[in-house]
């Protein structure tokens, strides 16, 4: 068989497309105007974007605190590119570590309540590097079934085994850990805030189970830092920072930049620093991105009301969606899913909202379980009440048009 045949099938063969999770082939979706991916934005100013001249309210961004448009963040990036240039032209391991990286690592460690931190070029690379460095041949990672793809891929890259437990289910974690060998090194890995459902890991129930079995705990706070725990993430939200061994995250959400980090004990991070292939063999995070993340951290610490505002907006919208009759699951954060079920229906609803001036994201299998396709909406501290009223008007009309609400 020609290796590339399946690639062509995605656009022409419905059976190939359906195996990939699409309701039909990509060409048909494009012809129907229902292909929701890789849409180029002409302009983006945070809460509103422009696509081919059409203005839309942005409900698809992870810019939770609205800092991508903050003048201090932008000026910090401009100043850094003027001083250091656009690239470090080397890896952290060799010539690519700036004093600026060290400053960000020290600030992050203090902010998160950990001994030290280590910065990677992307959040995805961070999970690949951390997990593959820590998990040896005789070790096992125990992951929530709705953990981010970068966690799954990091475990696949590692030499150890991966086991999975039912989503946010402490009893099933107990079952899986009980079945693990006492001799194996064990690392439980969970998202702090789950990126599709917007629900929060049940850390107070998971931690005693980890301790009972001698398992270490890693929490991915990509969608939690800047959002819960006064902005300090899931462990701070529950007051259990000392019981979480590693906190990892990304700068591409609340920090208005790009990059990833891990925070924890110095000895553990020293090990990761010397064995994480995605750190050693990748060019380091450029100075403008480091400076933007530092400036964003300044704003987070100085303006905690941004965290209050984004959560107040999300609480209000969640209640309004439920009042209309939409299913928003167990969301407790500024990520609010609108469950549709059928993938093609989800794309049709997306298109109607797009035409109504509201930009949302579509999640279909394998990003979500089969039969649980959804619209992922997310909110910013800078969204206005007037914008949210317009969003509700659009959802009301579109929901009725598609028979989602009465």
Q: Which residues are catalytic?
A: 195, 223, 253
- The tally of CA atoms less than 13 A away on the side-chain side of residue 198 is 26
Alpha-carbon gap, residue 250 to 200, rounded angstroms: 17
Rg (alpha carbons) of the chain, rounded to whole number: 22
* Alpha-carbon dihedral angle through residues 159, 163, 167, 171, given to the nearest 10 degrees: -140
Strands of 127-233, DSSP E: 140-144, 161-165, 186-191, 216-220
CB 189, CB 141: distance < 8 Å: yes
CB 334, CB 34: distance < 8 Å: no
Alpha-carbon gap, residue 266 to 341, rounded angstroms: 45
Q: Give which of 124, 76, 113, 106 is closest to 222, Cα–Cα.
A: 124
User: What residues have CB less than 8 Å from 157, skipping those under 6 apart?
Assistant: 128, 131, 132
CB 310, CB 381: distance < 8 Å: yes
The strands making up 43-44's β-sheet, listed across from edge to edge, are 43-44, 48-51, 54-58, 358-359
Residues facing residue 338 across a β-bridge = 375
Tell me 41's DSSP state: P
Alpha-carbon gap, residue 332 to 319, rounded angstroms: 11
CB 373, CB 337: distance < 8 Å: no
Residue 211: Cβ within 10 Å count: 12
Q: Give which of 321, 309, 279, 326 is closest to 131, Cα–Cα.
A: 279
Please report which residue ranges of 158-197 form alpha helices under DSSP H.
170-179
Alpha-carbon gap, residue 54 to 52, rounded angstroms: 6
Residue 203: Cβ within 10 Å count: 21
């Amino acid at each position: 068989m020609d290796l590339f045949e399946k690639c062509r099938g995605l656009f022409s063969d419905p059976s190939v497309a359906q195996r990939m999770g699409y309701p039909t082939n990509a060409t048909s979706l494009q012809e129907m105007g229902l292909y929701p991916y890789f849409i180029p934005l002409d302009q983006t100013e945070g809460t509103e974007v422009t696509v081919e001249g059409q203005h839309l309210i942005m409900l698809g961004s992870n810019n939770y605190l609205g800092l991508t448009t903050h003048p201090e963040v932008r000026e910090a990036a401009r100043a850094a590119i003027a001083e250091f240039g656009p690239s470090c032209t080397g890896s952290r391991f060799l010539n690519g570590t700036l004093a600026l990286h060290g400053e960000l690592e020290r600030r992050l460690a203090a902010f998160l309540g950990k001994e030290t931190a280590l910065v990677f070029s992307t959040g995805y690379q961070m999970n690949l590097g951390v997990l593959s460095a820590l998990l040896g041949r005789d070790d096992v990672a125990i992951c929530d079934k709705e953990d981010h793809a970068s966690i799954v891929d990091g475990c696949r890259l590692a030499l150890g085994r991966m086991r999975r437990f039912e989503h946010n289910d402490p009893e099933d974690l107990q079952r899986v850990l009980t079945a693990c060998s006492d001799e194996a090194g064990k690392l439980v890995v969970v998202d702090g805030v789950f990126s599709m459902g917007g629900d929060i890991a049940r850390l107070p129930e998971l931690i005693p189970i980890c301790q009972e079995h001698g398992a270490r705990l890693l929490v991915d706070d990509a969608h939690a830092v800047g959002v819960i725990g006064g902005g300090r993430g899931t462990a701070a939200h529950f007051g259990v920072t000392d019981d979480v061994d590693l906190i990892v995250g990304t700068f591409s959400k609340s920090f208005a930049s790009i990059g990833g980090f891990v925070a924890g004990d110095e000895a553990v991070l020293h090990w990761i620093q010397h064995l994480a292939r995605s750190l050693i063999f990748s060019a380091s995070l450029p100075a403008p991105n480091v400076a933007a993340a530092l400036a964003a951290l300044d704003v987070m610490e100085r303006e905690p009301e941004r965290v209050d505002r984004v959560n107040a907006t999300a609480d209000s919208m969640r209640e309004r969606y439920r009042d209309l009759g939409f299913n928003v699951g167990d969301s407790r954060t500024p990520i609010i899913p609108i469950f549709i079920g059928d993938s093609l229906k989800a794309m049709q609803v997306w298109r109607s909202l797009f035409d109504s001036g509201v930009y949302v994201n579509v999640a279909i299998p394998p990003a979500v379980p089969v039969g649980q396709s959804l619209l992922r909406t997310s909110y910013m501290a800078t969204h206005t009440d007037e914008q949210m009223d317009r969003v509700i008007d659009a959802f009301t009309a579109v929901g009725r048009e598609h028979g989602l609400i009465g």
